[in-house]
Amino acid sequence: MLRPWQISLSQRIDAARSEPVYMQIIQAVIRDIESGRLTSGSYLPSSRELAASLGVNRKTVVLAYEDLIAQGWLSSAGTRGTMVSTALPDPGLPASRDVAEPDAPAQAEYRFAAAPASPLALPEGPGLKLDEGAPDGRLFPIELLSRAYRAAAQRLTRRNGLQYRDPRGAPALRESVAEMLKSQRGLPVTADNICITRGSQNSIFLAASLLIRPGDAVIVEELTYEPAVAAFAARGAKIVPVGLDGDGICLDDVEAACRRNRVAAVFVTPHHQFPTTVALRPERRLRLLDLARQFGFAVIEDDYDHEFHFASQPLLPMAAYAPGRVIYAGSLSKLLLPALRVGYIAAPVEVIEALAHVVSLVDGMGNTLTENAAAELIDSGELSRHARKVRQVYAQRREAFAEALDATLGDHVSYEMPPGGLAFWLRFASEQTLDRIEAGAAGAGLRFASSRSFMTRPGAARGLRIGFASLDEQEARRALQALRSILD
């Protein structure tokens, strides 16, 4: 019987690949059908002929044909052989079209929002990564985490708690977070005011989903947290940068922006401003909240590292005395481990209910096991004990980092000793010096966030935010010496 289909499978079947040969045959036949090389009603070689041409066992081809018939790609024509199903539509492609190689990467044939040219997070790669204020995960006792997970799993299993559940988060963790915020930070909250999230960035995006309609303005400082700006922009917000000085956000600029725009939110990091580490002064906090009342916008207060303050007692969050005007975002990542992705939002009950609806759309629920393990660590007191220990370690590293800065880059760098947080904001004697450092970083084996990644408008002061907590003293000296080597 004539077989008009010219066999090309032999060029695409490789027994050395990890994929079973019969599956390679299936995929090759489907590709030829989709490309137009095999048209509806075309006959395929017999299983014996195809097996001989491919150099495989006939049973392998029979298995592939049977699977293709079951899927509807082929049909059996009895004694006449096996043919491409006549029910398949014409692919509308020329039969001469090139067929992609099996291992060739697929390319999208549809519209989608492409990733930006510069990633928001530093990609993994060679060299020493200088983060922007991460904790040292090596300090958290892994046996504590193991015990907490085991206890949480046992307790949840006994009460059939490993099911789909409340999108606001595990009740035990919401209770623990509410008690922590009430007793330590003065927030007038209960568990009903808490929504557990997958970290502070997830909190920011969830808040943006509630607050922003396309065309709304979001006010940010001229130096700020780039992923937050990207989240607002992704929701269709108009980003409005305002000034920043040694006392925090410039409120005259905020008021002027409110008179020119339909402002949905103002995003601030008042405890330790990101990236400059300055604290927002009390009088400015009160005026910002008054502007929120006057113009009807929400204050998104990102309190990403409240636990780490070394010079004095931290100021109370704005959400403690104006809970109706603030969406308060926090995280346990700095105390636990960033990889656990445990954050939270505190807000009025009706806002939490709306957030739960958004969580239901994008996630359905959080990570029940991890959230209950985090509650175990809080309720047992282990988290508090760990916090006291690492605060002492980070305080020592902060002092040592400042000494190493003075010894290696003192003639090129100026900085204010950060009162809290886990990073320094470094300003350079000239932009040319900063340009040389950024250009030579890769060659010196260093990776860090670009100075321009913090800028929301041209002309903002450039600098580098360098975390000190995740590096021991030896690693920190080596990193700073590498920075110095670029200049030398």
CA–CA dist 431, 412 (Å, integer): 11
Is the same domain home to 377 and 354?
yes
- Token pair listed for 97: 């079209």
- Per DSSP, what are the bridge partners of residue 248? 245
- Cα distances (Å, whole numbers) of residue 217 to 56, 252, 254, 257: 65, 17, 11, 9
Is the same domain home to 380 and 394?
no
Q: Which of 328, 361, 384 finishes a domain? A: 384
Domain count, the chain: 3
Is the same domain home to 378 and 432?
no
Is the same domain home to 78 and 39?
yes
Is the same domain home to 309 and 218?
yes
Is the same domain home to 450 and 310?
no
Q: What is the pLDDT of residue 103?
A: 60
User: What is the domain-level CATH number for residue 37?
Assistant: 1.10.10.10
User: Block means of pLDDT (10 residues each) for the chain, length 488 residues?
Assistant: 54 77 89 84 89 89 93 88 86 52 73 79 74 90 88 84 82 92 92 94 95 96 96 95 95 97 97 93 95 97 88 85 95 84 94 94 82 88 89 94 93 90 93 93 90 94 94 92 90
Is the same domain home to 414 and 372?
no
- The structure's pTM equals 0.83
Is the same domain home to 376 and 271?
yes
Is the same domain home to 361 and 402?
no
Is the same domain home to 67 and 166?
no
Domain extent for 80:
9-84
Is the same domain home to 259 and 400?
no
User: What is the domain-level CATH number for residue 351?
Assistant: 3.40.640.10
Is the same domain home to 325 and 444?
no
